[in-house]
Structure 1
Amino acid sequence: MPRLPTLTLLLCGLPLLATAEEKAPEGFIEGSSLKLINRNFYFNRDFRSRGDGLFNGRQQSYREEWAQGFQGFYSSGYTAGTVGVGLDAHALLGVKLDSGGGTAGTNLLPLDSRNHAEDDYSAAGAALKLRAFDTELKLGDLFPVTPVFQRGDGRLLPQSFRGVSLENRSIDGLTLQGGHLHAARNKASSNHDGEMSTEYGGTAYESASYFGGDYSAPDGTLLSLYQARYEDVWNQTYLSLAHSFTLDDDSALALGANLYRTRDQGSARAGEIDTDSWSAYARLSIGAHSFMLAHQRIDGDQPFDYLGDGDSIYLANSVLYSDFNSPNERSWQVRYDLDLAAFGVPGLSLMTRYLRGTGIDNSRVDPNGAYAYYARLGDGGRHWERDVEVKYVVQNGPAKDLSIAVQQTIHRANAAQADGDVDQVRIITQYPLDIF
C-alpha cells in the first residue's frame, strides 16, 4: 500500500467520535447514482506572433480547436455492516470536431508525433471505497479537490490520479481530507503515465501527499488549513480565512484572504524554493450587482508553482489566462458581476474584470534551475489582463441546467514578463444529466 503521511493516518481514529446509529446504511444498489456530463468546447488562442519560446518552449503562435467530451460517473452506495463497501467508476471520451495541423495544441486533445490532434481519446477507471461511521477511504482512480492538490478541469475532460484518500466528517461543519497519490492522467491523455510534474517548472516527482481540512462556523466564517509534500520538490502549507457580513436585506460584504508557504524539500529537484504567496479580496453585493477588489503578492525569487495540469491555485488573481504569479510580483484586480434575473432574464449573468501586475523581478532566478526561462527576462516585468464572460443556464424544462458560456480574454505584457501577448476566446456548452 502507498506510504501515507503521519497526519493522514490520524484520520483512521476519527470514526470513534461518531456512533453507528448516526448514519443508516443506504445499500449498495439503493444508494447508487449515475451522472453524465456532456461538454462542448471551442478554444481559440492567438499568441500575437510571439514565438520566442520563453514560456515552456512555446513556438506556435496560433491555436484553435473544437471538441466534444462525454463524462460518465457512477457511484454506488455501501453494503450493510460496520464497514460498508462501495465502488466509484468513470468513463471519459473526447472527440475532435475541428483541429487543423497548424492550429492544434490548446490541450483539448492529445497530439500525435506530427503535433496533429488525435481524432479521439478515452479513459476509464474505478476506485474501491470503504466507509466506517463518518470516515470514507478510497483506493484507485481519484479526483482530489484541495487547495494544495486539485485535479484540473479547465479543458474537455478532467484530470485524475491514482492513489489512496481519506475523508472524515465526524464534527459538524468540519471536513478533513488526506491522500497519497503516485500516478497522473492529465486532461488531454488516456493513460496514467506514472509520473507527476509541476506546472511552471515541469519538475517530475514520484508521489505527493496532502492533509488538511475546511471548517464552516455557524456564523458563516470559513477556515481552511492544508499541508502538502511533493516528494523531493517542495513542502507547501495553505491557510485561508473568509467571512460574509449581511448589511441589509439586499446587500452583503464578503472578506477573505489566503496564503501559500512553499519551501523546497528532500533533494530539491526544482532547485531552491523559498516563496510566500498571498491574496486578499473584498466583495460587495448589492441586489443584482457585485463589485470585487483583490490584491495579490508573490514574495520570493521563484514563481508560485503548483500541480502540473491541475487547479491547485486558490490565489484571487489566478484567472482565465495568467496566474499573476511571477517572482516578486504585486497585482490588483477589479471585478464586476451582474445577475440579469433582476431584469427579467433568470439564468443570464455577466462578468468582467481587469488585472494589472507589476514589480516582477526575475533577476535572482537560478539560471540553471527549473525556472531558468524566467532568468532570461530580467527585472521590470509588468502585464495586464481583461476578461469578459457571458453565461446562460437554462432554469427549467427538459434542458434544465444546460449552460452556455462565452469567455473572452486579452492579455498584454512587456518583454520582462513570461506570459506574452495573448487574445483568446472560449465557448463552452455543458449539459449535466442525472440518470439515476
Structure 2
Amino acid sequence: MKKLAKFAAAAAAMVFMGLTGAYGYFSDSLTVTNHIALGDVNIRLKEYQKKGSTEVLYTNPKTVIPGETISKIPRITNLAKPCWVRARITYKNDRDHVDGFQDEMLAGMSEDWVKRGEYYYFTRILKRKESADLFQKVTVPARWGKEHSDQKLGIIIQAEAIQAANFVPDFSGMSPWGNQKIQLCVHEEDGAASCRGEKMDLSVEFNGKAHKLVSVPGDFFVNLGTAMPGDHFEDVVDVSNTTEKEAELFFHTDVKGQDSSQLELLKGIRLAIFMNDKKLYKGTLDSPGMEKEHSLGIFQPGQNGKMKFILDVPAEWDNSYALRKADVQWIFTVNEEEPEAPERTPQTGEYEPERPAGRRSPVKTSDGLDPETTVLVFFCSGMSALIGLACLILRKGGRKE
C-alpha cells in the first residue's frame, strides 16, 4: 500500500507540472486623447480717416459745408475663421423735407462689393486677419443751400458675417445668403481659432524593438483643426504589428470627466469607424457603444491594417456652440501569447511540444493571470490535494493490517 501511495503522489505532481508553466501572456495598453473644438465667426468694424499720409481713428466733424469731402473709412476685419461679410448702410436725418446722405455720396468702394437688396455683399472670402474697406470718402453735395444749414446727419453701418466653410452664396440672386438667420456673436473678443496645418499620418504600432504599443501623433483629430457646422472629415489610422509573434489588438473609447456642455457637443457629432472596410461602429462621438473592448483582429508578424474614421458636425448648429471644446480618449490594447521555455516531463524526460498560440481576451484577474489560466490552476491544485488525501487514507489502512 505504501508503494501505491507514493505512485499516486508522483502522478499528482506530474499532472500539476504538466498543466502549468507552459505559456505566459503579454498585454499593453495605449491611450490617445483626441481633441475636438468648434470654430467661431468673429468680425470687427472700426472707422478710420486719413490725415496726411497716415490713418487715425475716425472722429465726427463738428460741421461740414456743401461740396466738402470727408475721409471716412469703415473697415471690417476678420478675427476668426474664414467668412463671408456683408454690410447695410442706413442714413439718419433730423429733417424730413430736405435731402440727406445717400449712397451716391459715398466714394472709394471696391469692385468686390455688390449691392443686393438693402445689403452690400463682399464677393470674396475674408480670411482670418484680413480686412475689407467698405468705402473711403463721403462728399457733401455742392448744390445744398441755406435750407440744409444746421441739419443733423448720420451714417449707420451694420456689418454681418457668415462662415465660409460649407456655405456658398449666390451673388446672382437678390438674396445671396438666402434665408440664413444672423445671430449675435457669443465669442470672446479676439477669440482664438486654430487652423489646419500640414496633414499628419496617423498610426498605432505594436513595436518589435520597444515591444509595446506606440502611436503617432498623440491626437488623431489633429488634421481636423477647428471644426465648423456642416464639416465632414475623414482620416485613416495605420495599425501594424512589427513584432515576431502574432498579436490581437483591441479598441474602445472613454469620455469620462467631461461636463454637460462637453457631452452635449460629443452627443451631436456623428462618428463612424471602419477596420479594413468592415464597420466597427456608427453613432455619436460620445460613443456609448464603444465603451467595451472591440477586437481589431489578430495581426500576424509584419501585418498591418487600416482603421478609418469619419466625423460629421451638424450643419444646423448655431453660435451657441462656438468655441466649445471636448476630449475623447481612444484606448488600444494588445494581447500577445508568449510560449515559455519547454519543460521536461517527470515520466519520460522529453520536451513537451509547444502549443499553438490562440486568441486571448484582454480581461485580466487581479493577480495578473487571465480567467482561463486562473481556473486551470485552481483545478489542478484541488486535484493534487484530493489525490494526496487519498494516499494518506490508504497509508493509514496499511498500518492497521
The answer to whether TM tops 0.5 is: no
Q: Using structure 1 for the length normalisation, give the TM-score.
A: 0.18
Higher relative contact order (CA 8 A, sep 6+): 2
Higher strand share: 1
Larger Rg: 2
Q: Using structure 2 for the length normalisation, give the TM-score.
A: 0.19
Higher helix share: 2
